[in-house]
Structure 1
Amino acid sequence: MNLFKKLFGTAKNGASQNEFVESEFSLMKKTDFNNFEDLLNQHAGYSFEKQLNFNELTGNVAWNIDLNTGMLSFGTLQFPMQVIGSLSFNDYSWMWGWANTKSGIPENLLDGSSKLKALGEKKELEELKKGHFMATEGFEHKMGLVASGLLDADAYFCANYGQGTMVVTVKSDSIPEIDDNNVERVLTTFPQLISGIDLNHQESFKNYLIDRGFKLKLTDRKIEGVKNGKLLIAEFDELSRLIKLNGKI
């Protein structure tokens, strides 16, 4: 049995049991968010794929940050940056860039940080409006994914300085954009994402496909997405954990 038959089966007259009617699918918008977890589920997928492109570009080259010029560099590659905040490894506390008044960060590098603060005040989100608070291990990457999505950045970077890590976002034409027509990449990117970070799999997958311009059909524990005549099918358990992901490519 070939892979296609194994994944989709074969109906009578040779028709796939998973043939789809595109009129049953529709473009959707993200719902409103009420907390930081909602934001993470809304932005993790697309932001993570941007990270993969950024990491492929920068490789293992040593990094350098120059606050005077506002540049993050990897060898000869340079990227304009915004300082979002920093996580202390001593007590796992997070401090926003706008709240770190003793660090001497130039004001022009805090525009993104300040925008997130304003959003936090509007939506009453403690993680965005409180200057300094206790966090958990890995929070810097969650914040990076959220900031990258909300600020429409091309990537984020965690600059580990030993005692902690500074989270910055970057935006540059030199960073490859996501190829939204490359449907196949979702099949490898999403499993990578959920293996490294705690998410609501069902919500984050739905929002990932929304960001990628898929038309969706949603049922209780299944998300089907179609784009360019290609179909992705994700199934989830009662706890919204991914149990199956395949595609008719």
Structure 2
Amino acid sequence: MSTFRDLLSEHAGPVLLRQQHLADLLGTFTWDADLHQGLLHVSGHTRPYRAQLIGTEMHRDASWLWAWANTGSGLGDEVTEDSRRVREHGLTRGVPELTTPRLCTEAVSGHDLAVIACGLTGADAYFRGEFPGGAAYFTLRDVPPAPVLTASRSVHLITTVLQTFALHHPNAVRALYAAHDCPVTIRGRHWSATVGAETVHLAFDDLQRLSEISLAPAALTPA
């Protein structure tokens, strides 16, 4: 059985890397979604992104409604498939946040839910589009690949993601490096991750919170 925190810890790092890349691509924009064709149009971009609605959040009552539960919208299966896949995962793994139609965003945010949805469905990224009184969240396809993970970028990602989300720190770190095939050596509370030609050193305290993170050149292997 997975918990919501487990899933968020697993997917936050890899998804945030793709989100930062998407933000660089989009810049300042306006948007419009065609939910009949499953397309998201963004100003300044010649081609739309393939998009599916994950859910919507409303500010007036601090609520989130999953797209699979939005039966009054008349949305077709082709634009709600990702949200239904998330629900199926929640049913299989016993994660109530993924199977409850309406949630309070003071307990779990739209970004939390979108990160998990993006990770579980293998989407390229997710998109948050504001409208009067709320926001809609979409999974996206056809986004150009994000740059290769570097050691310095991983340090920035780890510090950002641990400040942004309520995660299990070791699991979040392990998941980010595993997603990019970066070897991690664990010696008690001290970890080292090899990223390209560099090594990232990490340490965790007694409560399994990240207490130190630093960069060092990777050791040279004798010829």
> Secondary structure of 1:184's match?
helix
Q: Which structure has the bigger radius of gyration?
A: 1
Aligned mates of 2:132, 2:106 — CA distance in 1: 17
- Write out the 4+ residue segments of structure 1 that deviate beyond 6 Å after TM superposition: none
TM-score (norm 2): 0.89
Partner of 1:241: 209
| Corresponding residue to 2:139 among 169, 184, 201 | 169
Supply the distance in 1 between the matched residues of 2:108 and 2:68 (Cα, whole angstroms): 21
* Alignment equivalent of 1:92, drawn from 59, 62, 67: 62
> In structure 2, do the counterparts of structure 1 residues 214 and 106 end up closer, same or farther at CA, with 3 Å as the change threshold?
same
**What is the match of residue 219 of structure 1?**
187
How many percent identity over aligned positions? 25
Is the CA contact (8 Å cut-off) linking 1:206 and 1:223 kept in structure 2?
no
Residue equivalent to 2:114: 144
Superposition CA RMSD, Å: 1.8
Q: 1:129 to 1:141 in 2, by over 3 A?
A: same
Q: How far apart are the structure 2 equivalents of 1:141 and 1:170?
A: 14
Give yes or no for the alignment of 1:49 onto 2:25: no
Report the secondary structure of 2:128's partner residue: strand
Structure 1 residue 168: Cα displacement = 0.7
Q: Distance in 2 between matches of 1:133 and 1:61?
A: 29
Conserved? CA contact 2:17–2:146, under 8 Å: no
Where do 5+ consecutive residues of structure 1 fail to align?
Answer: 1-32
Q: CA deviation at 1:247?
A: 1.7
Structure 2: gaps (5+ residues): 218-223
Q: Matched residues in 2 for 1:120 and 1:138: separation?
A: 15
Work out whether 1:179 is the aligned partner of 2:172: no
> Secondary structure of the residue that 1:87 maps to in structure 2?
strand
Match of 1:74 in 2: 42
Deviation at 1:110, TM superposition (A): 0.7
Letter in 1 for 2:2: N
Alpha-carbon distance in 2 for matches of 1:137, 1:45: 21
> Hey, what does 2:79 align to over in structure 1?
109
Q: Could you tell me how far apart the structure 2 residues matched to 1:160 and 1:138 are?
A: 18
1:64 matched to 2:3? The reply is: no
CA shift at 1:64, angstroms? 1.6
Q: Which residue of 1 aligns with 2:98?
A: 128
- Structure 1 segment 186-205 matched on structure 2, within 5 A: 186-205=154-173
